Each structure stands twice: as structure tokens, then as C-alpha cells.
């Protein structure tokens, strides 16, 4: 009796493949460490716990819930460890994970830079609409050019698109094609798809061009090789000037209606559950165009100013850096709001969990019950 084969068990590597298709590791910041940091990529996964940070309480929660994998936004391992012992803060977490048999992965600045990533979720949480990237990545785009027989052009074009080429803004599968004549003479050891060994051949070919980010070029090359009929496809890659249209940091958009700064501050406080806000601004300012960046986003303040933002919400602004929001007369050029690192990134837990649930409905995905931030605010008794 023939029976349907049971579905293959999902692995840690499968879960990460889903996340990395959305937020490729290649688009992370140079300083960052992302991906699987502790565990076995081939280990079976039935339950995943998502958190902003890895803490002892989160590891215990995962172990008690039977989760085989923890995914956080913030990495655990930034620098090489000299030891992984229980008397070392980071090493003790590695030891705790190993004892519990739980793998651990982080999706950090690659998710910050992803289209629809952390800052987009933060902006939506604040009621900001009509979003676009605040600080697009620069110098990361490439033009991939392929020459292919006309008979196989559609297949190669589709393979390139599936591998990540041809994404421009909200459009996918973008390419340009022009027909021409290809000439070649197969050598004695060749097994040509077209033409005859030792004889010059002319073939109607199509030149296909499509853009791709640097981290997708390898996958595009492999896709071309798999769909192309030639033994040695001609693939050319050229750097492009300008900025990416789908990758970058921060987000900017508009509120449904303008509102005074005090009302906007209340909106931010309530939406993020912030105990306190630090800000530069005047109460008579009107806020409509809003820029945000989850976490430490002060380096993108110039982008918010150039974009004409009325307010910029981010975190980790030090005292002297608040002065950068003022003009030469000491007046605010915009309202600069520090809402807290945890508060501006806590939405990441839901963001990651929703992504996994939508792509793997049979996978049990939960967000932590713990507030992972070690910081508290004191407002008196």
C-alpha cells in the first residue's frame, strides 16, 4: 500500500533560511554578527521563542516551553569569547543554552535594513503612514548582464528574478532585454548545446539586464547556471552608482493629521509604553512628517533633517548630541525624541514571530513573556 510521505522535519537551518530570505545577512552592518550563534543547524525545530534580547529568563522560558530555537534581534556574541564558563555573563548564557539543548540565532542590522523591517514596524506602531526608507543603503547595487539563446530567455529571466534580481521599489521581476547575434566556436572537448565542434556558429541571443544587491549576486549567478543551456554562460556584473530602493535604515512618513508636539509626545509614550521620553522641541511645534529609527539611530538625524521631518523618534541620544537638533539660534530644527532603545525595538518580537507564522503555519512560534530590558524609569511614588 502506498502512503503519502510524511513532511520532512523542519530544522534550524530551514527557519533561518526563511528569515534570511527576508533580511539577507549580506545587508548587515560591518560591525554586526548575525545568524546562528549557538547550536546545530540540522537540529529539528517544532517550537521557536522570539525575544529582543537573550537573557537567562528567556533561555529558561524556552526550555520550559519545549522550544528548540530562540531567535532574538540583538546578538549575544559580538566579540570572540576567551571562555564559555558559568562565571562569565556571555559564556554562562552559551553554557545555559547548551545544557538546555536550545539553539540560538540573531537577526539584527540585516533586519534593520530590510524593507518592512524594524523601523517600518515602529512607524506603523506610531500611526505613521505612506512610509519610505529614511536612509537607503548606498553603493550596494549591481547590474547583472546575461547572454542567452532566445529560446531560453524567459526561463533565465524568471530564474534571475526568483534569486533576487530585478527588485526596484515596489516592483519585482524588472529587467531589460535586447536581441543580437552571438558567435562562438566550440573546442574539441566541448559539448555544445548549439553549434558543432570546431565550426564557428551564429546564434540569436538575448542580452538580459537586471539589478541586484551585492549579497544576491552569487545566488543570481547560480540561478543563471541552472537555467542556462550553455556549458559556460556569460555573466557580467557592473557596479551601479546611487542608492538601493528596498534596503536601508529608518523610515519616514506622515501622520493622518497634524498635531501639536505635546499630543505627539503622548502618542509616542502611550504607543511604546515608555515610562519617560527625552526630547528637544517647543510645545508650539506642529508635527505631521515623522521619521523614525528603532534603536541607536542618531547617525541618521541628518537624513531626517534633509527629508523635512517635523519629528525624529529614535534612541540612545547622549546629552551633547541633542544640540545637533538645534539651529544657530538655539531653536529646534525638528523635535528629536529619545524614546528608549528597548521601547523603539520591542515591536521586533512581533515582527519576527509574524514572519515565521506566515511562512510556517505548522511551527509553534511564541514571543517571550519577559521584558528583556535591564533598564527601568523612576517617576516617584
SS3 readout for 77-134: CCCCCCCCCCCCHHHHHHHHHHHHCCEEEECCHHHHCCCCCHHHHHHHHCCCEEEEEE
Rounded CA separation 244/257 (Å):
30
Q: Are 13 and 93 in contact, with CB atoms under 8 Å apart?
A: no
Per-residue pLDDT tens over the stretch 48-73: 999 999 999 999 999 999 999 999 99
Stated pTM of the model: 0.87
Average pLDDT by consecutive 10-residue portion of the chain (381 residues)?
Answer: 58 96 92 95 97 97 97 93 86 94 97 94 97 94 95 96 91 94 84 82 92 94 95 92 89 98 98 94 96 97 98 97 96 97 97 97 96 86 57
Grid cell locating 144: 547583472
Per-residue pLDDT tens over the stretch 5-58: 445 689 999 999 999 999 999 999 999 999 999 999 999 999 999 999 999 999
Neighbouring-strand partners of residue 48? 69, 365
Rounded CA separation 367/144 (Å):
40
Q: Which residue has the cell 509553534?
A: 364
- Identify the H or E element spanning 204: strand 201-213
Sheet with 176-184, side-by-side order of all strands:
176-184, 201-213, 141-149, 234-239
Amino acid at each position: 500500500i502506498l502512503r503519502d510521505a510524511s513532511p520532512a522535519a523542519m530544522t534550524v537551518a530551514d527557519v533561518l533560511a526563511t528569515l534570511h530570505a527576508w533580511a539577507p545577512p549580506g545587508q548587515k552592518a560591518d560591525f554586526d554578527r548575525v545568524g546562528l550563534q549557538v547550536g546545530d543547524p540540522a537540529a529539528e525545530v517544532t517550537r521557536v521563542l522570539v525575544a529582543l534580547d537573550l537573557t537567562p529568563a528567556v533561555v529558561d522560558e524556552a526550555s520550559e516551553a519545549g522550544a528548540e530555537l530562540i531567535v532574538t534581534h540583538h546578538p549575544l556574541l559580538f566579540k570572540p569569547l576567551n571562555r564559555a564558563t558559568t562565571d562569565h555573563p556571555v559564556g554562562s548564557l552559551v553554557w545555559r543554552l547548551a545544557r538546555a539543548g536550545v539553539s540560538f540565532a540573531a537577526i539584527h542590522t540585516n533586519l534593520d535594513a530590510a524593507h518592512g523591517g524594524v523601523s517600518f514596524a515602529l512607524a506603523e506602531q506610531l500611526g505613521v503612514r505612506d512610509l519610505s526608507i529614511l536612509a537607503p543603503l548606498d553603493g550596494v547595487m549591481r547590474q547583472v548582464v546575461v547572454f542567452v539563446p532566445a529560446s531560453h530567455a524567459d526561463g533565465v529571466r524568471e530564474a534571475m528574478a526568483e534569486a533576487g534580481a530585478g527588485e526596484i521599489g515596489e516592483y519585482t521581476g524588472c529587467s531589460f532585454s535586447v536581441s543580437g547575434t552571438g558567435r562562438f566556436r566550440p573546442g574539441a572537448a566541448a559539448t555544445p548545446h548549439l553549434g558543432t565542434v570546431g565550426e564557428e556558429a551564429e546564434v540569436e541571443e538575448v542580452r538580459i539586464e537586471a539589478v541586484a544587491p551585492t549579497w544576491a549576486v552569487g545566488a543570481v549567478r547560480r540561478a543563471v547556471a541552472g537555467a542556462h543551456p550553455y556549458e559556460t554562460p556569460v555573466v557580467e556584473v557592473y557596479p551601479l552608482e546611487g542608492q538601493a530602493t528596498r534596503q536601508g535604515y529608518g523610515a519616514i512618513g506622515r501622520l493622518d493629521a497634524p498635531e501639536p508636539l505635546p499630543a505627539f509626545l503622548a502618542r509616542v509614550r502611550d504607543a511604546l509604553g515608555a515610562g519617560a521620553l527625552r526630547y528637544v522641541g517647543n510645545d508650539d511645534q506642529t508635527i505631521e512628517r515623522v521619521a523614525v529609527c528603532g534603536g541607536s539611530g542618531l547617525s541618521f538625524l541628518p537624513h531626517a533633517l534633509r527629508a523635512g521631518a517635523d519629528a525624529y523618534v529614535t534612541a540612545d541620544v547622549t546629552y551633547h548630541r541633542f544640540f545637533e537638533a538645534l539651529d544657530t539660534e538655539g531653536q529646534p530644527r525638528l523635535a528629536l525624541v529619545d524614546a528608549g532603545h528597548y521601547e523603539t525595538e520591542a515591536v521586533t518580537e512581533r515582527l519576527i514571530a509574524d514572519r515565521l507564522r506566515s511562512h510556517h503555519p505548522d511551527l509553534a512560534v511564541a514571543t517571550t513573556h519577559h521584558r528583556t530590558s535591564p533598564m527601568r524609569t523612576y517617576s516617584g511614588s
